[in-house]
Structure 1
Amino acid sequence: MLRLLAGEAARRFGGRAAVVTGSASLSFADLDRFSDQVAAGLAHRGTRIGDVVVLALPDGPEFVICYLAAAKIGAVTAGIGVERLGLLTGLDPAIVITAPSVLPPLSGLDVVTLPIDRGRRSPHLYDPVRLTGLRRPEPPPPPFPPDPARPVVITFTSGRTGPPKGVVFGNRQLEAIRAHGAGLRWGTGDARLVPHPLGQLGFATRLPVILQTGRTCHVVAEWTPDAVLRVLREHKIGVLQGTPHQLSRILDLREELPELSLILSSGAPATPALIRTLRTRYGVPVCNRYICTEAGLGLGTRPDDPDEDAEFSVGRPRGSVNVSIRDAEGRALPAGDHGEVLLRSEAVMSGYVGRSTDHAVFAKDGFIRTGDRGYIDHTGRLHLVGRVTRKPA
Structure 2
Amino acid sequence: MDLTRYLQDLRARQTRARPAGTPHEVVHPLGEITIPEHVEHWAAHRPEHPAIVFRQRTITYRELDELIKRVGGWLSSAGVRAGDRVAVHLPNCPQFVVAMAAALRIGAVHVPVNPMFRGPELAHELRDSGAEVVITADSLLPVLAQVRDETPVREVLVTADPLRGDDLAAPEIPPEAGAASPWADAAAHPPTAVLERDLDALAALNYTGGTTGLPKGCEHTQRHMLYTAASTAGATQQRSDGGFVALCYIPIFWIAGENLGVLGPLVLGGTSVLLPRWDATEVLEAIDRHRATTTVGTVENYLELLDHPRFAEHDLSSLTDPMAVSFVRKLDTEVRHRWSAAVGPGSLLREGAYGMTETHTFDATPYALAEDDMDLRAEPVFCGLPVPGTDIAVVSFETGEPLPLGEEGEIVVRSPSVMTGYWKQPEATARQLRDGWLRTGDLGRIDEHGYLHYLGRNKDLIKVKGMSVFPAEVEILLSRHPAVHSVAVVAASHPEKGQQPVAFVRATDDALDSAALRTWAAEQMATYKVPLVEIVEEFPMTTTGKVRKVELADRAQHLSDEH
TM-score normalised by the chain length of structure 2: 0.62
Native 8 Å contact 1:49 1:74 kept in 2? yes
Coordinate RMSD, CA, aligned:
3.2
Q: Report the CA distance between 1:76 and its aligned residue.
A: 0.6
Match for residue 394 of structure 2 among 320, 325, 335 = 325
Confirm whether residue 281 of structure 1 aligns to residue 339 of structure 2: yes
SS in 2 for 1:166: strand
The range that moved more, 299-308 or 13-22, is 299-308
1:292 equivalent in structure 2: 356
Structure 1 residues 172 and 262, CA gap change in structure 2 (3 angstroms): closer
Output the CA distance in 2 between the equivalents of 1:292 and 1:119: 29
Output the CA distance in 2 between the equivalents of 1:118 and 1:76: 23
In structure 1, what residue type is equivalent to 2:250? H
In structure 2, what residue type is equivalent to 1:67? M
Confirm whether residue 59 of structure 1 aligns to residue 92 of structure 2: yes
Q: Report the CA distance between 1:23 and its aligned residue.
A: 0.7
SS in 1 for 2:185: coil
Match for residue 135 of structure 1 among 182, 187, 192 = 187
Native 8 Å contact 1:287 1:300 kept in 2? no
Output the CA distance in 2 between the equivalents of 1:299 and 1:343: 10
Match for residue 422 of structure 2 among 344, 352, 357 = 352
In structure 1, what residue type is equivalent to 2:407? D
1:110 equivalent in structure 2: 154
In structure 2, what residue type is equivalent to 1:386? G
The range that moved more, 35-44 or 284-293, is 284-293
Output the CA distance in 2 between the equivalents of 1:251 and 1:82: 30
The range that moved more, 293-302 or 380-389, is 380-389
The range that moved more, 128-137 or 368-377, is 128-137
Native 8 Å contact 1:153 1:205 kept in 2? no
Q: How does 1:55-134 map to 2 (within 5 A)?
A: 55-84=88-117, 86-89=121-124, 90-104=128-142, 105=145, 106-107=148-149, 109-116=153-160, 131-134=183-186
Q: Report the CA distance between 1:96 and its aligned residue.
A: 0.7
The range that moved more, 351-360 or 370-379, is 351-360
Q: Report the CA distance between 1:186 and its aligned residue.
A: 3.2
SS in 2 for 1:167: strand
Q: How does 1:220-231 map to 2 (within 5 A)?
A: 220-231=275-286
Output the CA distance in 1 between the equivalents of 2:162 and 2:292: 29
Gaps of 5+ in 2: 1-33, 171-181, 342-346, 461-543, 547-563
Confirm whether residue 380 of structure 1 aligns to residue 473 of structure 2: no
Structure 1 residues 111 and 126, CA gap change in structure 2 (3 angstroms): closer
2:55 equivalent in structure 1: 22
Output the CA distance in 1 between the equivalents of 2:294 and 2:283: 11
2:321 equivalent in structure 1: 262
Native 8 Å contact 1:187 1:212 kept in 2? no
Q: Report the CA distance between 1:304 and its aligned residue.
A: 5.5
Output the CA distance in 1 between the equivalents of 2:131 and 2:411: 34
Native 8 Å contact 2:168 2:184 kept in 1? no
Output the CA distance in 2 between the equivalents of 1:200 and 1:3: 20
In structure 2, what residue type is equivalent to 1:375? R
In structure 1, what residue type is equivalent to 2:158? L
Larger radius of gyration: 2
Q: Report the CA distance between 1:66 and its aligned residue.
A: 0.8
Structure 1 residues 220 and 369, CA gap change in structure 2 (3 angstroms): same
> Hey, which bits of structure 1, 4+ residues long, moved more than 6 A?
158-162
Q: Report the CA distance between 1:57 and its aligned residue.
A: 1.7
Structure 1 residues 143 and 128, CA gap change in structure 2 (3 angstroms): farther
The range that moved more, 240-249 or 49-58, is 240-249
Native 8 Å contact 1:54 1:79 kept in 2? yes
Match for residue 204 of structure 1 among 222, 238, 258 = 258
Native 8 Å contact 2:233 2:264 kept in 1? yes
In structure 1, what residue type is equivalent to 2:285? R
Q: How does 1:178-193 map to 2 (within 5 A)?
A: 178-182=229-233, 186-193=240-247
Structure 1 residues 374 and 100, CA gap change in structure 2 (3 angstroms): same
Output the CA distance in 2 between the equivalents of 1:160 and 1:319: 30
Q: Report the CA distance between 1:94 and its aligned residue.
A: 2.0
Output the CA distance in 1 between the equivalents of 2:221 and 2:388: 20
SS in 2 for 1:114: strand
Structure 1 residues 264 and 91, CA gap change in structure 2 (3 angstroms): same
Output the CA distance in 2 between the equivalents of 1:315 and 1:339: 17
* 1:161-187 Cα distance to aligned partner (Å, 9 max, x none): 974332221123123224314579633
1:338 equivalent in structure 2: 408
Output the CA distance in 2 between the equivalents of 1:160 and 1:232: 39
Output the CA distance in 2 between the equivalents of 1:218 and 1:354: 35
Match for residue 78 of structure 2 among 45, 68, 72 = 45
Q: Which has the larger helix fraction? A: 2
Output the CA distance in 2 between the equivalents of 1:187 and 1:61: 22
In structure 2, what residue type is equivalent to 1:72? R
In structure 2, what residue type is equivalent to 1:111? E
Q: Report the CA distance between 1:61 and its aligned residue.
A: 0.8
Output the CA distance in 1 between the equivalents of 2:157 and 2:189: 18
Match for residue 154 of structure 1 among 194, 202, 205 = 205
Output the CA distance in 1 between the equivalents of 2:62 and 2:113: 26
Q: Report the CA distance between 1:158 and its aligned residue.
A: 6.2
Structure 1 residues 119 and 302, CA gap change in structure 2 (3 angstroms): closer
Q: Report the CA distance between 1:208 and its aligned residue.
A: 4.2
Output the CA distance in 2 between the equivalents of 1:194 and 1:325: 32
Output the CA distance in 2 between the equivalents of 1:18 and 1:267: 29
Q: Report the CA distance between 1:369 and its aligned residue.
A: 1.9
2:490 equivalent in structure 1: none
In structure 1, what residue type is equivalent to 2:135? I
Query: Matched residues, percent identical?
Result: 25
Output the CA distance in 1 between the equivalents of 2:329 and 2:365: 12
Output the CA distance in 2 between the equivalents of 1:346 and 1:119: 37
Structure 1 residues 238 and 4, CA gap change in structure 2 (3 angstroms): closer
SS in 1 for 2:252: coil
Q: Report the CA distance between 1:300 and its aligned residue.
A: 0.7
Output the CA distance in 1 between the equivalents of 2:163 and 2:334: 45
Gaps of 5+ in 1: none
Native 8 Å contact 1:375 1:383 kept in 2? yes
Structure 1 residues 240 and 147, CA gap change in structure 2 (3 angstroms): closer
